Amino acid sequence: MARVGRTRRTGPDVSNRQRVVVVTGGGGGIGAAIAESLSRTGAFVVTVDPLVSIDGSERLPRTEETTAGRIVAAGGAARASAISVTDEARIRELFGELADEFGGLDAVVNVAGISRPTGFATGTDDDWRSVLSVHLAGYRNVLGAALPLMADAGRGHLLGVTSGSGWRTADAGAYGCAKRAVASLTWQLGRHAPAGVVVNAISPIAATRMVTAALGRTKRSTGAATGGLSLGAMPAPEHLGPLGAHLVDGAFAACRGRVLFAGGSEVSVIDEPRLIEVVRSDDVPSQAQVAEAATTIALAKAEANQVSGGGSNARFGATFDVSPAGDLPPATVRSCAIVTDRPELARSVSGALQARGVVCHSIDSRTALADLGAVGAVVIAVAAGVAATGVTSHWARILAEHDGVAAQIHADAQWARTVAEVAAKDDHPIRLVTVTVAVTSGGRSRAQASAQLARSGRKATGDLVLPFALSDESDPDEFDGGPAELIAHLVCSPEADALAGAELVVGPGWFGLRSHPRPVGSISFGGPTVPSWFDETLREIVQPR
């Protein structure tokens, strides 16, 4: 197994040796296309792919023709490995062996993935775990194996693969949650990668067997011919090969920590969530009044338009200074179940809800929720993940804080599915508020996955579940009520309905709203060949002059 700091056999001149690139999921589809394009640049390509069925449940029959075989037959250099990205120990061992054998590991493209039917209210626990394990935990395994080697060498490229299901509104369940977390991890690592190491991700679309299978499921479940997507409009997988190879070229440095939509003939930069409205909550006469006013004046409009409504006359008047004239409007619900392992938060949320006339029930299991009977709202605020200690580098801390995040996302989704089941059983609408402690890197990725899941919940349940996602970034060591009043507002106020699926956030002394990921600039070039001016224009999109 490779160890950080181990002396590598680099040969007499590292600069002249053959580049070594690993492509996970390189046995077919987009991974194979990128692998073959890389081989044409002269790189030694290692495809890592257990060659399993689309859902990952069984191994496919061995065939004589493989990606590595085609590369070698065409005069290139390649090798195949059947290791799964879910096997952290073997991935580390493989990467270390390659670095020892060839004098370094130059790039890794992580395309590995499986597809199983899951949604906001659907999917078995096994399906959820399997998809999150491959797409999210597997990506973290690849990063954990490659980054120490590249940090030692002072160079390297890593390219992850996310999906539009992780940044557009889509009821994609585990897949959408995993791909949003992959994007979050990429955005964070890109800012703190080791010197000389470039980390990015692509969000590709192509007519692959995985996409074909997903569209087939959509057609069977909805009756729609394509589920809103057209296979005929999608590029063939091989059209994405040149771009993937270009993004891990040794000279590529036009962007770092970016997600790029890749559509064969078009590339778009997908921007990460950004604060678009921030509202003060400390030292005000009534936090409840401020939350109510902020929703109607700023947050609801910003969520609908995905831009701030500021930039003109001041909007809040005396909201921050004047005591409320009367009682709060009647609550839309009469009872609320609270699930939390944070005693201070439980007390403050219960107090805020009881002040509005809401009966609170403290529960600790999904079975208890099902046995409770009809409730108007459920608040989930389970803390998990702690800041990494004893880690000196920022990138290593980010990876350490993502240990177990896949399991945490799965647990959050289990609660959402249970709420959906209870709502459907009783044919009774339920407001669901999921609060994620997001003071660590892993917590931030978990919060983004929660927001991505919430975006689809209302439509997926026919308005039976009204889901809210709140990223709690307040100081856990200086608890002053935290998000209690905002949570109570989301549970009780009809004005809050417009914030269902929004990316809400609360910090020390403020609360607000982040935008959803969205394209901020595009390059159309006909493809698949990447034009010579591509890097220069991409650089200006991500960093204007």
| Segments in 133-255 forming alpha helices (H) | 138-153, 173-192, 209-222, 241-247
- Whether residues 417 and 343 share a domain: the answer is yes
pLDDT at 481: 67
Distance, CA of 112 to CA of 107 (rounded, Å): 15
- Whether residues 429 and 532 share a domain: the answer is no
Q: pLDDT digits over 313-325, tens only?
A: 999 999 999 887 7
- Whether residues 469 and 429 share a domain: the answer is yes
pLDDT at 223: 41
pLDDT at 524: 97
pLDDT at 61: 62
Q: pLDDT digits over 379-438, tens only?
A: 999 988 777 788 889 999 999 999 999 999 999 999 999 999 999 998 999 999 999 999
Residues written for the chain: 545
pLDDT band at residue 374 using 50, 70 and 90 as cut-offs: confident
Is 13 inside any structural domain? Answer: no
pLDDT band at residue 475 using 50, 70 and 90 as cut-offs: confident
Q: pLDDT digits over 229-253, tens only?
A: 555 567 788 999 999 999 999 999 9
Distance, CA of 262 to CA of 266 (rounded, Å): 6
Is 452 inside any structural domain? Answer: yes
Strands (E), 245-358: 259-262, 266-271, 275-280, 335-340
Is 413 inside any structural domain? Answer: yes
- The helix (H) or strand (E) run that includes residue 397 is helix 394-400
| Contact between residue 474 and residue 487 where contact means Cβ atoms under 8 Å apart | no
| Contact between residue 41 and residue 75 where contact means Cβ atoms under 8 Å apart | no
Cα–Cα distances in Å, from 402 out to 58, 368, 492?
A: 28, 30, 34
Question: Which range among 378-392, 509-523, 528-542 shows the weakest confidence by mean pLDDT?
Answer: 378-392
- Whether residues 312 and 205 share a domain: the answer is no
- The helix (H) or strand (E) run that includes residue 27 is none
* Percentage of the chain lying above the pLDDT 70 cut: 90
Is 5 inside any structural domain? Answer: no
Is 9 inside any structural domain? Answer: no
Cα–Cα distances in Å, from 35 out to 41, 101, 299, 343?
A: 10, 20, 45, 52
pLDDT at 329: 76
User: How many domains is the chain built from?
Assistant: 2
* Percentage of the chain lying above the pLDDT 90 cut: 80
pLDDT at 117: 95
- Whether residues 401 and 535 share a domain: the answer is no
pLDDT band at residue 58 using 50, 70 and 90 as cut-offs: low
Is 6 inside any structural domain? Answer: no
pLDDT at 272: 97
- Whether residues 407 and 528 share a domain: the answer is no
pLDDT band at residue 214 using 50, 70 and 90 as cut-offs: low
Question: Which range among 99-113, 177-191, 283-297, 325-339 shows the weakest confidence by mean pLDDT?
Answer: 325-339
Residue 147 scores a pLDDT above 90: yes
Question: Which range among 57-61, 259-263, 307-311, 363-367 shows the weakest confidence by mean pLDDT?
Answer: 57-61
- Whether residues 398 and 265 share a domain: the answer is no
Domain range for 185 is: 18-272+518-542
261 contact partners, CB below 8 Å, separation of at least 6: 164, 202, 203, 204, 205, 267, 268, 269, 270, 519, 522
- Whether residues 284 and 202 share a domain: the answer is no
Question: Which range among 213-217, 269-273, 345-349 shows the weakest confidence by mean pLDDT?
Answer: 213-217
- Whether residues 267 and 281 share a domain: the answer is no
- Whether residues 265 and 310 share a domain: the answer is no
Residue 515 scores a pLDDT above 70: yes
Question: Which range among 32-41, 210-219, 329-338 shows the weakest confidence by mean pLDDT?
Answer: 210-219
Distance, CA of 393 to CA of 382 (rounded, Å): 28
Picking from 326, 317, 329, 321, the residue whose alpha carbon sits closest to that of residue 292 is 329
pLDDT band at residue 3 using 50, 70 and 90 as cut-offs: very low
Cα dihedral 341, 515, 306, 222 sign: negative
Annotated catalytic residues are 175
pLDDT band at residue 13 using 50, 70 and 90 as cut-offs: very low
Is 10 inside any structural domain? Answer: no
Distance, CA of 31 to CA of 112 (rounded, Å): 8
Question: Which range among 183-192, 310-319, 477-486 shows the weakest confidence by mean pLDDT?
Answer: 477-486
CA atoms within 13 A on the CB side of 229: 19
pLDDT at 211: 57
Is 12 inside any structural domain? Answer: no
Distance, CA of 44 to CA of 68 (rounded, Å): 10
- Whether residues 455 and 522 share a domain: the answer is no
Distance, CA of 483 to CA of 17 (rounded, Å): 56
pLDDT mean over 98-121:
97
CATH number at residue 342: 3.40.50.720
- Whether residues 444 and 533 share a domain: the answer is no
- Across the chain, what does the average pLDDT equal? 91
pLDDT at 275: 98
